[in-house]
Structure 1
């Protein structure tokens, strides 16, 4: 996939619409745990550009739920989300936000009760 070639599953143009709405730039505003203040409060990674770390190669943005909690939904539910519920994410911000959402969900879950056998 080059900077102009959409992913294989983008037959409806959803990925292109999300990228166009984001102007080809990652829409993370710090939910990944990184302070994006130097870049105007938004991640600086652009589709087809290069990551901030040495050797990361070109950045390929993906369309994923804008709500961090929705990043934990099963794939079939994510695929059913409307365009307005999606955002463009660089892989680094997407993965970090997903990990943070999983930790928050686990912390909010009540502790499992032990099985009472006796």
Structure 2
């Protein structure tokens, strides 16, 4: 997958449409935990560009839900979201935002009842 070659499974061009709407740049605005202050509040990662660390290779943006709460959806429900509910994410921001979202959901969950066996 080089340049703007779509990933496998993008028959309707959804990934290409999301990437075009994002101008080929990650749309994270700090939900990953970084302020991105040096870059105007938006992640500087560009599709096909290189990461800020040596050896990371080219950045490949993914189309995923723009609302961090939707990142916890099961894959079949996330895949059914419309284009307007998707954003372009670099792998680092997507992973960090997903971890933060899941941690927040676990913290908000009521405590489990004690086991009935003991």
Q: What residue in structure 2 maps to residue 49 of structure 1? A: 49
Q: What residue in structure 2 maps to residue 93 of structure 1? A: 93
How many pairs were matched up? 118
Aligned-partner Cα distance in 2 for 1:108–1:40: 32
Q: Work out whether residues 4 and 16 of structure 2, in 8 Å CA contact, stay in contact via their aligned partners in 1.
A: no
Q: What TM-score, normalized to structure 1?
A: 0.96
What are the residue-to-residue correspondences of 1:1-118 with 2, within 5 Å? 1-116=1-116
Aligned-partner Cα distance in 1 for 2:16–2:39: 24
User: Where in structure 1 are there 5+ consecutive unaligned residues?
Assistant: none
Q: What TM-score, normalized to structure 2?
A: 0.96
User: Where in structure 2 are there 5+ consecutive unaligned residues?
Assistant: none
Q: Work out whether residues 64 and 87 of structure 2, in 8 Å CA contact, stay in contact via their aligned partners in 1.
A: yes
> Moved runs in structure 1, 4+ residues, more than 6 A?
none
